[in-house]
Structure formats: structure tokens, C-alpha cells
Amino acid sequence: MFSNQALKKLIIPLVIEQVLVMLVGMADTAMVSYAGEAAISGVALVDMFCYMIITILTAVATGGAVIVSQFLGSGDRTKANLSASQLLVITFLISSVIMAVCTVFHHGILKLFFGSIEADVMEAAATYLVITAFSFPFLGIYNSSAALFRSMGKTNVTMYVSLLMNAINVAGNAVGIFVFHAGVAGVAVPTLISRIVAGILMSALAFRESNTVFVRWKDICRWDRETIRRILRIAVPNGIENGLFALGRVLVTSIVALFGTVQIAANGVANSVDMIAIVVVNAVNLAMVTVVGQCVGADEYEQAKAYTWKLMKISYLATAVLGVLVCVSLPLILQIYELSDQTYRLSCFLIIMHNILAILLHQTSFNLSNSLRAAGDAKFTMYVGVGSMIVFRLGTAVLFGMVLNLGIIGVWIAMGMDWLARSVAFVIRYKSGKWKEYKAIN
């Protein structure tokens, strides 16, 4: 169903898009570092919380993308259009509620997760959270609209819009930090503006009737229970899995917050640099939904299996190459950050540790789970993801980080154990063939 040329046209723009996302994350962290380690720590903590919100919105978008992809594979464009329209409705409602909760209760949220942090870090975190929370509805609409274009294989559209969004963000960061000296607000406001522009532009493009799948006002203004049920049947387990996974990361970050500003800052820097090694894995995650979803929609299960392994091989090769390059280039990469010697050394150790684990486990832990999800087997991935998060990501983080007093290094060992548990479970499930019984549009 997909030639090598078609896969290239699908994946290469996704890789470029992920590179842009990664660079903006690094630029945010690097620029705000010039406002002091309290500022970089506050942004790092809120980014972990916002990651949880983004994963929930992405889960909803993925649910819609799976349904749209399977309808495209089956040849039913009418239901694909209806699913696309209903997806935007659901996304806007959910993201608006999240925005309201985060803006009204931001102090309570920060105290709940990071109550023991220093006062200047808390002030920076509060500023960053309030401003970025207003971007959630626009980010949700952007994610869902982008997911629709990926389902159609038009990843070049999402790449260009992402380029615009990130250009606005980076330019705004430079002005906010170095011209207006606005500190954390100088990074947060450009993030808000860039997401507003991207959300409006992507949703406008989604209405174009020249698209293979397009959004219609008459479908937005209705509430189709069957379509929403199909989307939520994928989105809810996916949202629970990824939301709790992200919540686990937030809770782990609250543990990291107990280790002091140096370890918080090193954790934030390492998290931003770590994106380099897994940029292709993240792109393949998105491509997997389109490719496997359309194959399953057409009842081509053997092709779905063949493409899954083919895409994972690409991930393995790319992660190995990028991981090694990052480790070799660390002295150059970390020059863009304003760090103390202690934070610099700890950041290096964490980045090298992450890249070794990513080369071994990231593909089976994340690429394979997205293949299962695209086939409709979302509940299984939810059970595995939630169980592994509780036992390993959170449980062993407490054991190694606090009880055994290994600090941030113990927390990252727990991350590796989580990936290993997920990998074992997903490989066993995939080889069993049970995933073929859960077609989402049946």
C-alpha cells in the first residue's frame, strides 16, 4: 500500500517537523538560562506539567487520526470527513476545560506537584504556567488538524506550519529575553503567540474541500454519538495511558525538585538535549498511525506487520547514529547553555545515559505501542503503560532516587526500567497477533 517513495514523502517532513520542535525546546531552555538558574528550573518544572497536558491533547488527536486513517483505508471518505469534523469539536472542548483549570488553579497545581521548591523558582513557574495555559485550545486545534493531514499523508503541510510556528517562537524568545529582559515571560508570551497563529492556520487549512479529508461546518455543529464513540474508544485509553505516563513524569519531577536547583537544572537541560537522539523515533510514531491505520482499514494485516518492522528498523538506525553523534558533540552542544560546572557535568552524564537506553529500548517501547494503537488495540497499551509507570517509572524512582539516595541518577535508572518493561510486554503482544482483533471502525 505504501511504496518506498511514499514512505519517504511521509516520514521526511515529519522528521523535519520534530527537529523544529526539538530546536525550539532547546532554544527556550538556552535563552531562559540567561535569566538565571531559578528561571530555567521554573520553566523545566512547568514544561513537565505541560507535557502531561500536551500528551492528553495528542491522545485525542491520535484517536481521531486512527479512525480517519482506517476509514481512508476502507475507502469511506464520507465517514472520514465526519470523523475529522467531530475530532475538532472534541479537542476544542477538552482543551478549553484544561485551560480554565490551569489558569484559575495554577498556584494550587504548582504547590501540589512542586510545593517544596524555592520561592524564586515557584514565582518563575507560576508566570510561565499562566501564560502558556491560554495557548492550550489553540494547541489542541493545531494538533488535531495536523493529525488529519498526517492521516492523508500530507506531512509537508504540517512541516511548513510548524516551521512558521517555531520561527515565531524563537524570534519572540530572542526579543523577550535579550531586548525586553522579560525573563520567563519573555519565553512564555512567544509560545502563546506562535500557538495561536498555528492553530488558526491549521484549522483553516483543514476546511479546504480539495483535501482528501476535510472539515465541514455542518459536521462540526452536530454531535454524532457513533463517531465520537469510535474516536474516544482509541483516545480515552490512549489519553489515560499517556496522561498517567506524563503524570508519572511530573510526580518524578516533584521528586527531582527535592534534590536542589543544580539537579533540577541538569534534568531540564538533559531533557531538552535528549530530544536529538529520538527525533526520528518521534517522527516514526506519527507515521505509524497513518501507515498501520490505513493497512488495518483495508484488512491488509500482513502489510501492517511488514511496515511496522520496516519503520522500526529506520528508528533503530537513526537513533544509533544520532545518539553517538550527540555524545561526541556534547562539549559543543552544551556551550549554548549558561551552566555552572556542577550542572554541566551532571547534564553530560544524564544525556549519555539516556542515549544508550534510547538506542536499546525506545523503538520497542514507543514505535511498537503506536502500531498496536493504530490497529485499535489501545486498551492493552493503556494497561501496560499505566502498570509500568506505577511500578517502574514512579516506584523505582522513589526507591533509587530517595531511599537509596542516588538522586537524579536513580530517577533516570527508573526510566530505563520502565522502557524495558514496556518493550517486553509490547513485543510479546505483537508476536501473539491478538492486535488483529481490534479494528476500530468495526
pLDDT digits (tens, 9 = 90+) for 173-210: 889 988 998 888 988 999 999 999 999 999 999 999 99
| Pair 219, 81: CB distance under 8 Å | yes
Confidence of residue 50 (pLDDT cuts 50, 70, 90): confident
Measured from the Cβ of residue 163, the count of other Cβ atoms closer than 10 Å reads 14
Confidence of residue 25 (pLDDT cuts 50, 70, 90): low
pLDDT in tens, 131-150: 999 999 999 999 999 999 99
pLDDT at 407: 86
Amino acid identity of residue 66, one-letter, is V
Stronger pLDDT, 109 or 40, i.e. the higher one = 109
Indicate if the pLDDT at residue 442 is higher than 80: no
pLDDT at 26: 65
Confidence of residue 102 (pLDDT cuts 50, 70, 90): very high
Maximum average pLDDT range among 46-60, 78-92, 273-287: 78-92
The dihedral formed by the CA atoms of 420, 424, 426 and 429, expressed in degrees to the nearest 10: -170
Confidence of residue 401 (pLDDT cuts 50, 70, 90): confident
Rounded CA separation 334/236 (Å): 39
pLDDT in tens, 233-292: 888 898 888 777 777 777 787 788 788 878 888 888 888 788 889 989 989 998 999 999
Grid coordinates in use for 76? 469511506
The secondary structure element, H or E, covering residue 247 is helix 225-256
pLDDT at 267: 85
The C-alpha cell 511504496 sits at 3
SS3 298: coil
Indicate if the pLDDT at residue 165 is higher than 80: yes
| Pair 150, 290: CB distance under 8 Å | yes
Stronger pLDDT, 338 or 67, i.e. the higher one = 67
